[in-house]
Amino acid sequence: MSDAAQQPRSAAAIVGLVLGIIAIIISWVPIVNNLAFIVGAVGLIFSVVAMVGTMRKKKAGKGLAIAALVANIASIAIVLGTQSMYGAAIDDALDAPAASTATAPGDDADAEAPATSDVGDAQEFTNLAVGTSVELENGLSVTVDAVQTGLVNYDGSSVVGIQVTYVNNGDAGADYNSYDWKGQDGQGAQESSTYYADGTNELSYGTLDAGGSVTGNIYFAGDTMMALYFGNVFADSPAASWAIA
């Protein structure tokens, strides 16, 4: 019998891989991903121990050890990335840019200023026409510029896309995030954006400096009739909505 056949499989590699998988799964969940960092760190220790054991030919399962190492490093990287994103969203929520105004394309600059409304309810900023801008109290202007209909995804499902633009007219940095948006169908069901295989220039997340702007696309299921903007991922109700169908 060969030495490789006699070597026991590395238990540390198995434990490290299991911990790495668990850490990746929970690393996307807000708050809970703090635990994912700890799980990933412990899994990384087991993975390193397993790598050392397999490289010294004391244990079998080098492939498992490598997979465990990669999984735990990936989980830690995801936690750091999502913590940054969620932290920016929380800061945005605490800043509470309350009032907003809506401006339709072609409005006369001398016309009576539209009413302002709290971002928490924003009842008068519903069913806006595509091209209408909503300006938050912090100076961030948000617009649904255009709608792409008739898109077909890789699995044959229909998709509708919207192009949105943020312009920071304020004096300080302002955050933007694709997760600030949801699509609503004719029955009132609200869903987050969907993956579109042929999507281009998809909106991500980040911070706009004063005077900066960013434009990107967001995709929803094909039965979406309204695009809802929530201001931040923790808002309970939309700040504004646009009719896109």
pLDDT digits (tens, 9 = 90+) for 20-63: 899 899 888 877 778 888 998 998 999 899 899 888 888 888 88
Q: Which two tokens stand for residue 155?
A: 């699995």
The 8-class DSSP code of residue 179 comes to: G
Q: What is the mean pLDDT of the chain?
A: 82
Residue 226 in tokens: 């309204």
- Looking at the structure, do residues 108 and 225 belong to the same domain, yes or no? yes
Query: Does residue 105 share a domain with residue 60?
Result: no
Closest CA to 91 of 148, 174, 19, 161: 174
- Supply the pLDDT for residue 118: 39
- pLDDT per residue as tens digits for the range 168-220: 999 999 889 888 999 999 999 999 899 999 999 999 888 999 999 999 999 99
Instruction: Indicate whether 103 and 201 sit together in one domain.
Output: yes
* Identity of the residue numbered 156: G
Q: Of the candidates 194, 188, 182, 189, which has an alpha carbon nearest to the alpha carbon of residue 233? A: 182
Q: Are residues 202 and 114 in the same domain?
A: yes
- Total number of domains in the chain: 2
Final residue in a domain of this structure, among 69, 95, 121 = 95
Instruction: Choose one of 68, 95, 122: the last residue of a domain.
Output: 95
Residue 90 sits in the same domain as residue 129: no
Whether the model pTM is above 0.75: no
Q: Which domain range does residue 123 map to?
A: 99-243
| Chain CA centroid to CA 151, Å | 22
Phi first, then psi: what are they for 128, rounded to 5°?
-70, 155
Across-strand partners of 146?
A: 163
pLDDT score for 42:
93
Token digits for 130?
Answer: 């595509």
Q: Of 95, 119, 134, which one is at a domain's C-terminal end?
A: 95
Provide the pLDDT for residue 191.
Answer: 92
Region 216-231: what's the mean pLDDT? 93
Identify the residue whose tokens are 């995804």: 153
Segment 70-105, tens digit of pLDDT: 999 998 888 888 877 776 666 555 554 444 555 555
Q: What is the pLDDT of residue 46?
A: 92
Computed on alpha carbons and rounded to an integer, the radius of gyration of the chain in Å comes to 24
